Structure 1
Amino acid sequence: MITRLSQISEGEAFDIVVVGAGGAGMSAALFGAINGAKVLLVEKSEYVGGTTAFSAGTTWVPNSHHARAVGAHDDSLEKAAHYLDLAVGDRSSPALRRAFLENGPLAVKCIEDNSSVRYRARPFHPDYISDLEGSTLKGRALEPLPFDGRQLGERFALIRPPIPEFTVLGGMMVDRDDVNHLLGMTKSFKSLRHSIKLLVRQGVDRLRHSRGTRLVMGNALIASLLQSLDQRRVPVLTQCQMDSVESGSDGIEAIVLSQQGLKRRLRVKGGVILASGGFNRHPERRKALLPGIDVKWCPGASGHTGQAHDVAQGVGARYGKPGLSNAFWAPVSTRKRADGSLAVFPHFILDRGKPGMITVNQQGKRFLNESTSYHLFGIGMQKAGVAPAYLVTDAKGLRQYGLGMVRPGGKGLKPFLEDGYLTEGASLAALAGRLGIDASGLQDSVRRMNEYARTGVDLDYQRGTTDYQRANGDGSNTPNPNLGTLGIAPFYAIRLYPGDIGAATGFATDAKGRTLDDRDQVIPGLYAIGNDMHSIMGGTYPGPGITLGPGLTFAYLAAGHAAQRAKMPAKEAVLEQ
């Protein structure tokens, strides 16, 4: 298996070169191989997986064959299209959304029939704007099955490790089912048995590996993709970057790669597929597209520097028109690790929407619905000009749900308090004083929330009024699963910042993933997918996995087109119409 650029000859020809080994890029490389193409996968960092490896791995694809398994019989292409029309509107091309909806189920079926990648649908996983017509409660969100990393042998070390703060016991990955079992192991024999199996497996793993080999969520997806690429003998070059591409009469004809001082010019027959992860860490574009957002708040993988975007723009590729936002968002908290690196923890669903939690600004006032989607939460912080915001709870809330990197149970608080990640106060006034926020405002916000918790009605922000919000609350809490009182001292808070979790603005493409120039003409042989592609969601976030779902689908379309193009002797013009 080729792993070094030195193993490839100068001028060697490939049908497809994929730049970026995140979820979209690895899928494109795999689809190319499935189509019989000679494929090369290039990754700038030392790991494969990109930000997908950090994520839950959820892939939003309406009407796949998995939907029937969870009883989603009432969904349809037209229903999903109507939902996206309402959620996205004119912020993106309806034709591209249609291409996604028509081809997404085909992409899921193709990759499962021809590789080790396996998905399942959650029995209950609502769309994020669940009060819109056309939304569903189940069937559209697919998750990867757990994967045994031991199957990869030495290549297990290539998988980007998950965010350490999302693991337990020295690198053991857990998904939402595992968390429920671990929290309920003293209450249920089934949960106890499940937890013991996890703990035994982790103990055995740590005798042989640096972390657990039972992979779930995004790590499971990336591992299954890597195994599949290995089985099809697709070369993967890490720590290798695209320096330039060369155009000719037939479009992109060559690519120049470099790896640790060595350069190679390779011929490309079908095309170069960009999947480098977006613009987020490109210094100039970040300033222009995400003004005022510190890069330290970005929880994404480090490889999306936008360097590949400079190359693509050099041959005429252009960005799409901005939609609701140039990025996708989540509130994050940050903490310096023992090794000096910065932990950036995204607050998706584990704390902020639970009972007994409120988020306030410098005046101690609530300014948004804490149970809304993480994307809208991040946008809400920016609209309100709040950074940091303060996520506040009491002793009961901390014990039941945890607070960011602080685990549920209320134990081991000392290091978090000592380094300032967690702030404690014997009273609300004392907490406000330590945070430097208005005490009377905080006390009033808590008083109002306590009243809403008793009535079940949030008169300020209507928290807990949609299926999505209630799903992320606490079903045992009445009368509203998202509203609870704060009253048991001491009180606690952490600071939240708006963190960009992915790029929404990227290169304009057609429905096959081909990049477009300033005249809206196709650039033959240059494709963009994943976060390099301008999002078909128009900067909105309608459901779980709305980056990975289109990433998979347009990987399928782009790789299929590029593989076909590689077979055409003279790159017949019909393929470029």
Structure 2
Amino acid sequence: MAEDIFDYSADVLVVGTGAAGFSAAITAATEGASVIMFERNDGIGGTTGASGGTAWIPNNASLRAQGAEDPRDDALRYMCRMAYPQYYCADHPTLGLPERAYELIETFYDNGYKAIDYLREAGALDLTADRVAPDPDRPIVLPSGSIVKSFPDYGAALAEEKVAHGRHVSPTPGTASMIEQLAAGAEKHGIEVRTEHQAVALLRNEAGEVVGLELHNRTLTRLAHAHKAVIFASGGYAHNAELVRKNLPGRVFGSCSTLGAQGDFVRIGIEADAQFANMHNAWWKQVPVEASLDSPSPPGIWVPWGDAMIQVNRYGQRVVNEKLPYHDRGQIHSVYDPSRREYPNLVLFMIYDDAVASSESMEGMRRPVPMPDDDADYVIRGDNWQDLATRIDEHLEALGEVVGGVRLDASFSENLAATIERFDGFAETGKDLDFGRGESVFDRAWNGPNRAGSPNPTMAPFATEGPYYCIIVGAATLDTNGGPVINSRAQVLGTDGEPIPGLYGAGNCIASPAGNGYWGPGATIGLALTYGHLAGRSAVAEPAKTI
């Protein structure tokens, strides 16, 4: 390849403009490299830009400044237990995990706080931790208008959890959003950003080293030369219907990821002979199924809202603690019943009474339960329980193939009556004997308004008379988190186990170091910032390559 064939040239090329991409680019530029960023979409930000824009970082400086400690061994036990419960063994040197998986989690603990400190010193990101001792008299008002008590870790109920609060960091009050800060930091460091440039292939020299990219810019093909390395931070494959069908379990009803999450690095990684892992996993949540008919990014059910509210399957049975974190709760939809040879929870039915529907409170994560004066096509109303069941089945019939032909079982109404009677008893005693609803600090932190005299603020008996309401819910993703495998330097590994020279990855386009774990709010972005930083630092240390 001759030098004059390239449209762009820099020491480091970065694909993607979310948290991982900006962290990589700013780090590389700060270390003295010339950097160009390429973005498939017509605007920057990726899925980070569509998110809450916060991060989860253990042992961060802001937490320590409050006098709290986050010991390494305790944090590793918590993260490993969440990431790989099938392997976890507390007495094993790597806590039962495969050595490489353990090393990636170790690396995150050791470098996460260093990454955000580095970006702060570079003038690119200013984050502050939550209060390690939340104040019940000082609730947190979110941009959406929702009101929460705190942001605890999602596995706060586990014995391995020793620091439930303070690992969640968000933009310091008075500063801009995370993406706005990172974009300003990139501009400050002279980083060129090119939108509407989709990476379609790697360029490699005779030695097999990655030396650039082939890109599509609208109707044009562009070539970019990387003197040292290419870093992919291009997002997952959540909006690639074919890859979703081939890899994710059950049915998936949309994603809040950027529409550019088409799995570009999956195809490119296969062509590069990269190792792959975690392809069956995602960052999960629930959404109203019928809202997914109108948008590929329907509103998420972060915590099902209301106290007189349950979720049941087509047999009228509860199957989960409804107040669990969205990632854990979302996975209930892909549970297979070998006796019936079906996915009985493929869709669930979020049922609530008129006291919930008519409340005007914004406490907790109300969305997508509409305000009393608002209409939502995905809300089903019935004058009584039988009327509600009839109307639910009518909606299922209309959905047809969208939900795989699921209909209510003949036992639904009878079982639902028994389920509600049992739930009402739990609400009166304050103890959910089936699923432990309300026992975790998380269950209560994002819960809705408390009724006077309720022994458990997450539960209340259903009204004895209608109307009653239902939202049909299904699984969706924030994004997928499987792809090419990286090492602790963020180098992409080939099928021979060796790094592919000049190729790095971070964010949702790689096999997540978190495995199946979602440690706390902002964990996806915390990993992205950390491994993006490591990729940028490692890329700068690469020798210049001949073309």
Q: Does 1:132 align with 2:132?
A: no
Displacement of 1:281 after TM fit? 2.9
**Preserved CA contact (<8 Å) 2:310 2:322:** yes
Deviations 1:237-292 (A, max 9, x none): 11111122122227111222221222232221221111111122334432221144
Q: Does 1:82 align with 2:77?
A: yes
The aligned residue for residue 389 of structure 1 is 348
Distance 2:181 2:278 in 1: 35
Distance 2:31 2:151 in 1: 33
Matches within 5 A, 1:41-52: 41-52=37-48
Deviations 1:148-195 (A, max 9, x none): 7xxxxxxxxxxxxxxxxxxxxxxxxxxxxxxxxxxxxxxxxxxxxxxx
Distance 1:424 1:69 in 2: 51
Deviations 1:426-480 (A, max 9, x none): 2222212211242222222221111111100111211112222222224734311
**Preserved CA contact (<8 Å) 2:316 2:419:** yes
Q: CA RMSD in A?
A: 2.4
Distance 1:337 1:543 in 2: 26
The aligned residue for residue 143 of structure 1 is 170
The runs of 5 or more residues in structure 1 that have no matched partner are 1-7, 149-214, 572-577
Displacement of 1:382 after TM fit? 1.4
Displacement of 1:496 after TM fit? 0.5
Q: Percent identity between the aligned chains?
A: 27
Q: Does 1:535 align with 2:545?
A: no
Displacement of 1:492 after TM fit? 1.1
The aligned residue for residue 162 of structure 1 is none
**Preserved CA contact (<8 Å) 1:243 1:256:** yes
Displacement of 1:78 after TM fit? 2.0
Q: Does 1:484 align with 2:438?
A: no
**Preserved CA contact (<8 Å) 2:24 2:532:** yes
Classify the secondary structure of the residue corresponding to 1:366. coil
**Preserved CA contact (<8 Å) 2:255 2:298:** yes
Q: Does 1:228 align with 2:185?
A: yes
Tell which deviates more after alignment, 242-251 or 104-113. 242-251
Distance 2:520 2:384 in 1: 39
Classify the secondary structure of the residue corresponding to 1:66. helix
**Preserved CA contact (<8 Å) 2:199 2:215:** yes
**Preserved CA contact (<8 Å) 2:197 2:215:** yes
Q: Answer 1 or 2: which has greater helix percent.
A: 1
Displacement of 1:303 after TM fit? 0.4
Tell which deviates more after alignment, 102-111 or 298-307. 298-307
Displacement of 1:336 after TM fit? 5.5
**Preserved CA contact (<8 Å) 1:334 1:345:** no
Displacement of 1:554 after TM fit? 0.5
The runs of 5 or more residues in structure 2 that have no matched partner are 89-96, 132-149, 337-342, 394-407
Q: Does 1:453 align with 2:427?
A: yes
Distance 2:230 2:273 in 1: 14
Q: Does 1:412 align with 2:374?
A: yes
- Code of the residue aligned with 1:533 in structure 2: it is I
- Code of the residue aligned with 2:538 in structure 1: it is H
The aligned residue for residue 359 of structure 1 is 311
**Preserved CA contact (<8 Å) 2:60 2:113:** yes
Matches within 5 A, 1:250-289: 251-289=209-247
Displacement of 1:540 after TM fit? 2.0
**Preserved CA contact (<8 Å) 1:433 1:439:** no
Distance 2:226 2:513 in 1: 28
Displacement of 1:311 after TM fit? 1.8
Classify the secondary structure of the residue corresponding to 1:459. coil
The aligned residue for residue 106 of structure 1 is 114
Distance 2:441 2:477 in 1: 25
Distance 2:219 2:449 in 1: 57
Q: TM-score, normalised by structure 2?
A: 0.82
Q: 1:346 aligns with which of 300, 305, 330?
A: 300
Classify the secondary structure of the residue corresponding to 1:464. coil
Displacement of 1:363 after TM fit? 1.8
Matches within 5 A, 1:298-313: 298-313=255-270
Q: 1:429 aligns with which of 349, 369, 386?
A: 386
Distance 1:22 1:502 in 2: 13
Classify the secondary structure of the residue corresponding to 1:329. strand
Distance 2:534 2:475 in 1: 33
- Code of the residue aligned with 2:203 in structure 1: it is E
**Preserved CA contact (<8 Å) 2:265 2:483:** no
**Preserved CA contact (<8 Å) 2:256 2:298:** yes
Distance 1:108 1:318 in 2: 29
- Structure 1 residues 86 and 549: CA distance shift in structure 2, 3 A: same
Distance 1:343 1:288 in 2: 20
Deviations 1:307-363 (A, max 9, x none): 2321232122121256xx51121011145599x6455111113x34x4111001112
- Code of the residue aligned with 1:80 in structure 2: it is A
Q: 1:329 aligns with which of 258, 265, 284?
A: 284
- Structure 1 residues 255 and 412: CA distance shift in structure 2, 3 A: closer
Tell which deviates more after alignment, 124-133 or 368-377. 124-133
Classify the secondary structure of the residue corresponding to 2:11. strand
Deviations 1:499-549 (A, max 9, x none): 022222221111011000111110011011001121111122222222111
Distance 2:448 2:215 in 1: 51
Distance 2:258 2:290 in 1: 17
Classify the secondary structure of the residue corresponding to 2:482. coil
The aligned residue for residue 115 of structure 1 is 123
The aligned residue for residue 404 of structure 2 is none
Over 4 Å off, 4+ runs:
334-338, 340-343
Displacement of 1:367 after TM fit? 1.2
**Preserved CA contact (<8 Å) 1:82 1:133:** no
Deviations 1:3-25 (A, max 9, x none): xxxxx983542111111112211
